[in-house]
Amino acid sequence: MPKKLSLHLIEKIKSVKLLILDVDGVMTDGRIIYDDDGKETKVFDVKDGHGIKLLMRAGIDVAIITARESSVVLHRAKNLGIEIVCQKAMDKVAAFEGIIDKKQLSPADVAFIGDELVDIPLLRRVGFAASVSDAVKDVKKYVDYVTVKSGGYGAVREVCELILKAQGRWDEVTARYFLSKA
């Protein structure tokens, strides 16, 4: 695990059954690029994507809640197998409540990674709250964990690994990569 965690925090992480991600500033570095035709481009980290796939392989669901709307997000979600995507969620807590009702989860079962002021109400509601290292300063006051990595540069992967290791599932989901050929 990247940092030394308290037993209390490890217990909170052990309860996680769903990871919810913000997009801009978490899954990306926060920059939005437009071409001359107004077409939006975002850059995603492949290591973050693999971390998400590892988490899903362990049976932990992943969802996206973002205040913006972008077809790029839908493409990335589809590529990763993320089925729950809430865009234009100006009230992220309402979107969250809809998700946990549908999944029959409690707030304690959910982790969320955010980076901006709009994320604070949801960060205060979930069982395990995380922010990226380059999050807005005020956001960091409301989280259990601040990543070493920046948004769009491995922060999501860091949290995925943290969850898998705290839950004792890391070895199980990565075993196929370390098996030697006989």
DSSP code of residue 113? E
Q: Rounded CA gap, 99 and 96, in Å? A: 5
Task: Give per-residue burial for 139-164: e unless 16+ CB within 10 Å, then b.
Answer: beebbbbebebbbbbbbbbbbbbbbb
Cα within 13 Å of Cα(66), Cβ side: 22
Q: Is the pLDDT of residue 80 over 60?
A: yes
In a domain, 53, yes or no: yes
Q: Structure pTM?
A: 0.94
In a domain, 179, yes or no: no
**Domain of 65?**
7-170
Q: Rounded CA gap, 107 and 100, in Å? A: 7
Q: How many domains does the chain have?
A: 1
Measured in degrees and rounded to the nearest 5, phi and psi for residue 56 equal -65, -35
- Determine the residue type at 135: A
Q: Is the pLDDT of residue 1 over 50?
A: no
Q: Which of these, 42, 7, 8, lies nearest to 27 by C-alpha position?
A: 42
In a domain, 176, yes or no: no
In a domain, 13, yes or no: yes
Question: Please, which pLDDT band fits residue 180 given cuts at 50, 70 and 90?
Answer: low
In a domain, 1, yes or no: no
Q: Rounded CA gap, 110 and 126, in Å? A: 6
pLDDT tens figures, 85-132: 999 999 999 999 999 999 999 999 999 999 999 999 999 999 999 999
In a domain, 113, yes or no: yes
Q: Is the pLDDT of residue 76 over 70?
A: yes
What does pLDDT average to over the chain?
A: 95
Yes or no: say if 129 and 142 are a contact pair by the CB < 8 Å rule.
yes
What are the distances in angstroms from CA 75 to CA 41, 83, 91, 160, 174?
Answer: 11, 11, 23, 21, 26
**In sequence order, what are the residues at sequence separation of 6 or more whose Cβ sits closer than 8 angstroms to the Cβ of residue 118?**
67, 92
In a domain, 122, yes or no: yes
pLDDT tens figures, 119-177: 999 999 999 999 999 999 999 999 999 999 999 999 999 999 999 999 999 999 999 99
The CATH number that applies at residue 125 is: 3.40.50.1000
In a domain, 40, yes or no: yes
